Amino acid sequence: MTCTESAYAKLNLALDILGRRPDGYHDMRMVMQSIDLADRVTISSQAEPGVSVNTDLPYLPRGEGNIAAKAAARFFEETGLPFPGLAIDIQKQIPVCAGMAGGSSDGAAVLRVLRRACAPEMALERLEEIGALVGSDVPYCVRGGTVLAEGRGERLSELPPLPPCWLVVCKPSCSVSTPELFAQVRVKKLRCHPDVTGMTAALEQGDLEGIARRLYNVFEDVLPRRYIQVFEMKSALLEHGAMAASMTGSGPAVFGIFRDEEPAAQAAEALQAQCASVFFCRPAQPQL
C-alpha cells in the first residue's frame, strides 16, 4: 500500500477562551478554516514492524515522537486491527509552531488514510474520537473545512463554507510559546470576545464582509508586546488592503482576508519584503 494525502493548514477565523477546566485544559470556542497550504503525507507499508517517519525538516521527530506516528499507533490500538509496519514520509509546507496546526494536520491525514484503507465502515465521528486521543486540534483536522470547534476542540459542528476569497498568511520569525500564552489568560479580564454567533450567521448568509468584521483571537489581547512582529504584520496586511487581519491559534502567524485575487497577490508579493514566510492561499476542504 502507498497513499499520499494532503494535510491542510488551519486558520482561526475566531478564537475564544471561555474558562479553565478542572482537568487543566481550557474551554474554547473557535471557528476554524482549512486552507490549501498543505503538507504531503505519504504512507507505505513496510516489512519491519512499527512506524518510521521521514520528513524533509531534519529537526522534527522521526520516530514515535512525531504526531503522525502517534496517530497511526492510536488508530491500531483503538480499532484492535493488526498493526502492520508503516513508513510515513512528510514533506512539510506548513510552518512549524505557527498556530496553523501543522503537526495535528499530519496526524489527521494519517487517520483519514488508515480509515480508507483498513476500516472504511468506521463513522467519521469515531475517527475524530481517535484523533482527540492524539491532540486537541486533531479531531478538527480530520474533518477540516469550516467548523465550529468547542470544548478542548473536540466538539465539532460543521458550518457553511467560507465564501470564495483569498487569504494571505505571514509567519514572522519569532516563536510564541503556547503554554506561556495560556498562562497569561485571565478569562474574566479579557477585554473582548469574538462574536462567534454573529460570525456563524454571516457564514450562513455567505456574507464575507460580516465574517471579516468579526475576525478575532483573544490571544492577541494577552500577547506580550515583545512579539511586535505579529502586530506589525497585522497592520501591514491591513495597509495592503486586507478586509480584516488576525493572528491564528497561539501565533505567531497572522492572516488577512481579501475578496479579490489581484489585490491579494499584490499584497503577498509586497509583504515578502517585510516577512520571510508569506503564503497566498484559498479555503480548502479535505477529501474524506
Residue among 17 and 100 whose Cβ is closer to ligand ATP: 100
Q: Are 31 and 158 in contact (CB under 8 A)?
A: no
Contact stretch for ligand ATP (CB under 6 A) within 26-34, 96-104, 126-134, 192-200? 96-104
Among residues 16, 92, 137, 234, the one annotated as catalytic is 137
CA angle 269, 174, 152 (to 5 degrees): 100
- Is residue 10 part of the annotated active site? The answer reads yes
Residue among 66 and 229 whose Cβ is closer to ligand ATP: 66
Counting contacts by CB under 6 A, is residue 249 touching ligand ATP? Answer: yes
Among 35, 90, 245, 247, binds ligand ATP (CB under 6 A): 90
Residues 6+ apart with CB under 8 A from 201: 210
Among residues 10, 70, 171, 234, the one annotated as catalytic is 10
Distance CA 164, CA 161 (A): 9
Q: What is the three-class DSSP state of 119? A: coil
Counting contacts by CB under 6 A, is residue 66 touching ligand ATP? Answer: yes
Nearest Cα residue to 105 out of 75, 133, 79, 67: 67
Name the strands in the sheet holding 244-247, side by side, starting at the edge strand that comes first in the sequence. 244-247, 254-258, 166-171, 277-281
Residue among 103 and 145 whose Cβ is closer to ligand ATP: 103
- Is residue 234 part of the annotated active site? The answer reads no
Counting contacts by CB under 6 A, is residue 103 touching ligand ATP? Answer: yes
Counting contacts by CB under 6 A, is residue 200 touching ligand ATP? Answer: no
Distance CA 54, CA 44 (A): 12
Site residues (CB under 6 A) for ligand ATP? 60-61, 66-68, 90, 96-104, 106, 137, 178, 249-250
